[in-house]
């Protein structure tokens, strides 16, 4: 239960700060700036890894939880409870933002600037990079420690900085699900669920290709045997 509460709180803070930066940037006429939004996402993830990494691993992202499970580092029976806790925290954050900024049309929803396929591919690649880094700097199913916090936060910040204007750089189904549900912008939600999950799965395969079985102990062992 402590792990689930930690995931719920951590994801709440992530979505509240990250999408809140988008909303406040809109209502303040660009006061936060795109760079500021990207840094907010990176810094809040960094902070939450330090805050709850030793409790739950600070996944804060259903795609990350699925990636850890596919790599053999996370028990299957914990996957759905983790994902439910993450989504609950995210929806709660968007609900608070709706209360604070009642007239904002999107609440920071991720929407493609170009074609749906363009954003789908971008989200997949961005999440591949994120999950690949996580798998290589984390201990077991836990993103913790100075190295993990800085590396993961930096990846999220630089990806949001260069790709956020095109696809939103979500890399996180819970982060996209919550504002989409609360604001009613559901038309492109499938991109931000499918893309990150496919990207995380591809990162597991990539990790196996460049590391030994210690990266993905269950799948990696089978791959080495074949």
pTM passes above 0.75 = yes
Could you state, in order of their start, the residue ranges of all structural domains in the chain? 2-225
Instruction: Print pLDDT tens along the chain (226 aa).
Output: 899 999 999 999 999 999 999 999 999 999 999 999 999 999 999 999 999 988 988 999 999 999 999 999 999 999 999 999 999 999 999 999 999 999 999 999 999 999 999 999 999 999 999 999 999 988 665 665 567 889 999 999 999 999 999 999 999 999 999 999 999 999 999 999 999 999 999 999 999 888 765 566 655 444 333 3
φ and ψ of 66, to 5 deg = -65, -40
CATH fold, domain 2-225, is Glycerol uptake facilitator protein (1.20.1080)
Q: Tell me the C-alpha distance between 135 and 207, whole Å.
A: 7
């Amino acid at each position: 239960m402590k792990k689930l509460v930690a995931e719920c709180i951590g994801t709440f803070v992530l979505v509240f700060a990250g999408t809140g930066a988008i909303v406040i940037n809109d209502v303040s006429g660009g006061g936060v700036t795109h760079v500021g939004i990207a840094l907010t996402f990176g810094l809040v993830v960094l902070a939450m890894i330090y805050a709850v990494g030793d409790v739950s691993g600070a996944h804060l992202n259903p795609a990350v939880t699925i990636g850890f499970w596919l790599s053999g580092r996370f028990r299957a029976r914990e996957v759905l409870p983790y994902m439910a806790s993450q989504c609950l925290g995210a929806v709660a954050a968007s609900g608070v933002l709706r209360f604070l900024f009642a007239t904002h049309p999107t609440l920071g929803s991720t929407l493609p600037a170009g074609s749906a396929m363009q954003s789908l591919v971008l989200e997949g690649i961005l999440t591949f990079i994120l999950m690949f880094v996580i798998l290589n700097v984390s201990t077991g199913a836990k993103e913790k420690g100075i190295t993990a916090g800085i590396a993961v936060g930096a990846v999220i910040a630089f990806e949001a900085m260069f790709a956020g204007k095109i696809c939103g750089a979500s890399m996180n189904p819970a982060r996209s699900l919550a504002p989409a549900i609360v604001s009613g912008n559901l038309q492109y939600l499938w991109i931000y669920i499918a893309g990150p999950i496919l990207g995380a799965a591809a990162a597991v395969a990539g990790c196996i290709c460049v590391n030994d079985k210690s990266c993905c102990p269950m799948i990696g062992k089978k791959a080495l045997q074949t």
